[in-house]
């Protein structure tokens, strides 16, 4: 039930009282225009709860301060979860306008809480006396993380410094929103419509079908469209023999966020880098990278730099060898041009076919999206003894979104899973996991005992033509398994407190469950059962599977140069001191870093700065893009536990994985959680071996 006061009279109760099937919001009863009133009521209601905690006349206790904080803001959480999920996956002009309005408001709201002196005094009192509180390990961890979060948010600063920090946070929130909306607009508005048969030269049938569907969606029925969805543009760059068209679409792809006028993200990045450096200095850190890494496994920019440099040297050397192979093939075709970035995928596919007698067009008929979804579900079931029951009669926010009930071994519902697989203009690019509701065991406002998680996977696969199966690439299949690994991290959470639920772990640990789950895609038993030909139903031939295994480390120089250069540029921006960051040209600085690391001309960063959403469309991966590599060290070693057990589904190993990695959330220090699972910490050698760079 919503709070009973006049502020809620204009609020649509469907936003805060989730009465839909399986405990979902009744999406069909929510209009985009309803959110403004919901936030107008929920924000002050949450602050009233905070004031009540801060001004409690009783002595501070864990229950009346920390637990009370954990419970506060339930209605705001519900409104925010619906709104921000729609903003990412199904946005429109109304939602985007409100997003621009809300971003600074939410920042002000957070600052008002985190800089509440009376509230922090109670938290600090408890933290200083924590040894005497007789808390269990999970409660002690929550107290520690809460205290550190307030300190890192300016709780110990003076009034003037707090005011300036709040201004910075508010401005950064607005800039992040504008950055993201600019990239989405560039992606949404671009389509190269092809009409002549010659424009389709070299393209396999599955891609032609997807491009036809994309064209029809954009009111160009009977034609074909290249969009900036990775599921279309990457295979187009791979198979198209029209070098001029490859160059044209590649230019659009890599210059997202660089449009003239309001869509130019260059001044936005410059201001964000400046403000982030100033924020770090206010909080007593040498740089923003030092601030962000203080609460991670890596701890310092120096440790991150050492890992990145190790990978860079080996990846760049391997990429040079790969470029030589591509140049040879170009020359053998009688062409005299150098390898350009828009050539790499095209000729790499030819080299792979030559070396391994393997090509993407041969593999793709065996990779049906529906069967790969089944494979992910089946793998989770075998590892964690859970199952998935689809509910076609339950509507979500878009007709394409699928709803599943997640059941444990006894048939009890432990989670709800929503899956939004297909690209559309209203969805930002990429793939991600998020949630509508996080798991916890605290008593709810309605008297209920905790809540189960409601988890969402969002992807951007290209639809097939009507009546045809959706075929995906191996990279797409890995993405599906990756994001489902994140989803499992949320769905299997088993903690008491909301703030440490599911994926609420350090940034360089959060990618472990997702990257680790990718390993099961290539387990032979999984591929032979679910990689079946879409026409004949025959399983993928063992010979083809063997070729896939042999080719796993192919083109890894290119892939790691793409990634590592992006991570190095991210760290370089955020390692700047305030003086250096005060007046920076982002494009020139990026070029400077690329020159300093001797970036190969044939390869570009996986995410150029002006569309680097991980880093600038929010704060999640700023000074943290490296975390995929850090977690890569962990996941390469972690799967070794199953290899050593002699069974990729070994029960004892899976039970430890469930307990310490997938269900523990942030209740344990990440190093302690990993050691509890594996018995030791890994070295980078495991990752180098996995990537074929040892």
Locate 524 and state its tokens: 């032979």
Q: What is the pLDDT of residues 61-71, one digit of tens each?
A: 999 999 999 99
- Asked if residue 146 is part of any domain, the answer here is yes
Model confidence at 458, in pLDDT bands (50, 70, 90)?
Answer: very high
- What pLDDT shows up at residue 6? 57
Model confidence at 9, in pLDDT bands (50, 70, 90)?
Answer: confident
Q: How far apart are CA 658 and CA 383, in angstroms?
A: 8
**CA proximity to 496, closest of 412, 447, 439:** 439
Model confidence at 449, in pLDDT bands (50, 70, 90)?
Answer: confident
Which sign does the torsion angle of CA 66, 71, 73, 77 carry? Answer: positive
Considering the domain architecture, whether residues 152 and 194 belong to the same structural domain is answered as: no
Considering the domain architecture, whether residues 146 and 218 belong to the same structural domain is answered as: no
Model pTM score: 0.94
Q: How many helices (H) and strands (E) does the chain have?
A: 30, 9
Q: What is the pLDDT of residues 148-193, one digit of tens each?
A: 999 999 999 999 999 999 999 999 999 999 999 999 999 999 999 9
Contact between 174 and 103 under an 8 Å Cβ cutoff? The reply is yes
* Beta strand 432-437 pairing with 440-443: unpaired
- What pLDDT shows up at residue 581? 97
Q: How far apart are CA 200 and CA 194, in angstroms?
A: 8
Q: What is the pLDDT of residues 576-598, one digit of tens each?
A: 999 999 999 999 999 999 999 99
Cβ within 8 Å of residue 392, ≥6 positions away: none
- What pLDDT shows up at residue 8? 82
Domain boundary among 494, 525, 550: 550
Considering the domain architecture, whether residues 134 and 216 belong to the same structural domain is answered as: no
Residue tagged 């600038």 (tokens): 616
Taking the chain, what is the end-to-end CA distance rounded to the nearest angstrom?
58
Domain boundary among 233, 255, 277: 255
Q: What is the pLDDT of residues 253-294, one digit of tens each?
A: 999 999 888 899 999 999 999 999 999 999 999 999 999 999
CA–CA–CA angle 106, 111, 117 (5° rounding): 145
Reported as type and span, the H/E element at residue 220 is none
CATH number for 466: 1.10.1370.40
Is residue 483 flagged as an active site residue? yes
Average pLDDT score over the chain: 95
Considering the domain architecture, whether residues 12 and 138 belong to the same structural domain is answered as: yes
Domain that holds residue 221: 190-255
- Asked if residue 322 is part of any domain, the answer here is no
Considering the domain architecture, whether residues 420 and 474 belong to the same structural domain is answered as: yes
- What pLDDT shows up at residue 5? 58
Provide the 3-class DSSP secondary structure of residue 380. Answer: helix
Considering the domain architecture, whether residues 241 and 117 belong to the same structural domain is answered as: no
- What pLDDT shows up at residue 1? 47
Provide the 3-class DSSP secondary structure of residue 268. Answer: helix
Cβ within 8 Å of residue 288, ≥6 positions away: 276, 277, 279, 280, 574, 575, 576, 622, 623
- Asked if residue 633 is part of any domain, the answer here is no
Q: Which of 187, 483, 511, 562 is catalytic?
A: 483
Considering the domain architecture, whether residues 128 and 214 belong to the same structural domain is answered as: no
State mean pLDDT over 567-571.
98
- What pLDDT shows up at residue 465? 85
- Asked if residue 265 is part of any domain, the answer here is no
Locate 667 and state its tokens: 């209740």
State mean pLDDT over 676-690.
92
Considering the domain architecture, whether residues 453 and 517 belong to the same structural domain is answered as: yes
Q: What is the pLDDT of residues 501-537, one digit of tens each?
A: 999 999 999 999 999 999 999 999 999 999 999 999 9
Q: How far apart are CA 349 and CA 361, in angstroms?
A: 10
Question: b or e along 27-44 (b: 16 or more beta carbons within 10 Å of the residue's beta carbon)?
Answer: beebebebbbbbbebbbe
Considering the domain architecture, whether residues 114 and 227 belong to the same structural domain is answered as: no
State mean pLDDT over 658-665.
98
Considering the domain architecture, whether residues 147 and 202 belong to the same structural domain is answered as: no
Is a pLDDT exceeding 90 seen at residue 676? yes
Question: b or e along 67-85 (b: 16 or more beta carbons within 10 Å of the residue's beta carbon)?
Answer: bbbbbbbbbbbbbbbbbbb
Considering the domain architecture, whether residues 134 and 237 belong to the same structural domain is answered as: no
Residue tagged 């809540």 (tokens): 451
Domain boundary among 218, 240, 255: 255
Q: What is the pLDDT of residues 535-568, one digit of tens each?
A: 999 999 999 999 999 999 999 999 999 999 999 9
Reported as type and span, the H/E element at residue 647 is none
Is a pLDDT exceeding 60 seen at residue 2? no
Of 366 and 467, the structure prediction assigns the larger pLDDT to 366
What is the share, in percent, of the chain residues with pLDDT greater than 90? Answer: 93
- Asked if residue 235 is part of any domain, the answer here is yes
Q: What is the pLDDT of residues 409-428, one digit of tens each?
A: 999 999 999 999 999 999 99
Considering the domain architecture, whether residues 399 and 529 belong to the same structural domain is answered as: yes
Q: Of how many residues is the chain composed? A: 694
Report how many domains make up the chain.
3
Residue tagged 């020359």 (tokens): 331
């Amino acid at each position: 039930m919503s709070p009973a006061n006049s502020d809620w009279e204009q609020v649509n109760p469907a936003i805060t009282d989730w009465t839909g099937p399986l405990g979902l919001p009744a999406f069909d009863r929510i209009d985009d225009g309803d959110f403004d009133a919901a936030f107008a009521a929920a924000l002050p209601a949450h602050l009233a709860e905070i004031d009540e905690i801060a001004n409690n006349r009783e002595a501070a206790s864990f229950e009346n301060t920390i637990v009370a904080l954990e419970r506060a803001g339930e209605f705001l959480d519900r409104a925010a979860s619906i709104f921000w999920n729609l903003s990412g996956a199904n946005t429109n002009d109304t939602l985007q306008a409100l997003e621009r309005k809300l971003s600074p408001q939410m920042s002000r709201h957070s600052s008002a809480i985190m800089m509440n002196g009376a509230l922090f005094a109670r938290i600090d009192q408890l933290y200083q006396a924590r040894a005497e509180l007789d808390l269990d390990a999970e409660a002690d961890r929550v107290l520690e993380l809460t205290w550190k979060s307030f300190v890192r948010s300016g709780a110990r600063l003076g009034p003037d410094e707090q005011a300036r920090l709040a201004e910075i946070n508010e401005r950064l929130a607005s800039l992040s929103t504008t950055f993201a909306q600019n990239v989405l607009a560039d992606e949404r508005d671009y389509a190269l419509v092809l009409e002549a048969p010659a424009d389709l030269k070299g393209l396999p049938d599955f891609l032609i079908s997807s491009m036809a569907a994309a064209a029809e969606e954009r009111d160009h029925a009977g034609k074909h469209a290249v969009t900036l969805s990775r599921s279309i543009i990457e295979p187009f760059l791979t198979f198209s023999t029209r070098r001029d068209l490859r160059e044209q679409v590649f230019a659009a792809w890599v210059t997202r966020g660089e449009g003239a006028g309001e869509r130019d993200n260059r001044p936005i990045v410059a201001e964000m880098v400046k403000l982030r450096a100033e924020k770090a200095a206010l909080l007593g850190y040498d740089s923003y990278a030092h601030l962000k890494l203080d609460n991670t496994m890596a701890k310092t920019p120096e440790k991150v730099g050492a890992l990145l440099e190790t990978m860079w040297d080996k990846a760049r050397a391997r990429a040079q060898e790969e470029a030589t192979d591509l140049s040879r093939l170009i020359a053998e075709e009688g062409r005299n041009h150098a390898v350009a970035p828009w050539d790499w995928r095209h000729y790499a596919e030819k080299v792979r076919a030559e070396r391994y007698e393997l090509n993407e067009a041969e593999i793709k008929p065996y990779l049906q999206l529906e069967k790969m979804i089944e494979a992910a579900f089946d793998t989770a079931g075998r590892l964690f003894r859970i199952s998935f029951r689809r509910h076609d009669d339950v509507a979500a926010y878009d007709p394409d979104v699928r709803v599943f009930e997640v059941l444990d071994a006894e048939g009890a519902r432990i989670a709800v899973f929503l899956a939004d697989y297909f690209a559309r203009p209203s969805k930002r690019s990429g793939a991600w996991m998020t949630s509508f509701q996080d798991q916890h065991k605290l008593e709810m406002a309605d008297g209920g005992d905790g809540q189960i998680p409601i988890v969402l996977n969002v992807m951007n696969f290209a639809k097939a033509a009507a009546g045809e199966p959706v075929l995906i690439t191996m990279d797409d299949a890995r993405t599906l398994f990756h994001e489902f690994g994140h989803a499992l991290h949320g769905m299997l959470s088993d903690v008491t407190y909301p703030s440490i639920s599911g994926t609420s772990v350090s940034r360089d640990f959060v990618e472990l469950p997702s990257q680790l789950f990718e390993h099961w895609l290539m387990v032979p038993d999984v591929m032979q059962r679910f990689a079946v030909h879409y026409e004949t139903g025959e399983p993928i031939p063992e010979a083809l599977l063997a070729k896939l295994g042999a080719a796993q480390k192919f083109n890894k120089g290119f892939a790691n140069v793409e990634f590592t250069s992006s991570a190095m540029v991210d760290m370089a921006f955020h390692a700047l001191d305030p003086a250096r960051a005060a007046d920076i040209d982002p494009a020139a600085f990026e070029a400077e870093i690329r020159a300093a690391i001797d970036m190969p001309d044939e390869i570009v960063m996986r995410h150029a700065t002006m569309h680097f959403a991980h880093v600038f469309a929010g704060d999640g991966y700023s000074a943290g893009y490296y975390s995929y590599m850090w977690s890569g060290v962990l996941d390469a070693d972690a799967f070794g536990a199953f290899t050593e057990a002699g069974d990729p589904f070994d029960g004892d190993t899976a039970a430890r994985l469930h307990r310490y990695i997938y269900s523990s959330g942030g209740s344990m220090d990440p190093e302690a959680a990993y050691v509890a699972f594996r018995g030791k910490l890994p070295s980078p050698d495991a990752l180098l071996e996995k990537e074929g760079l040892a």
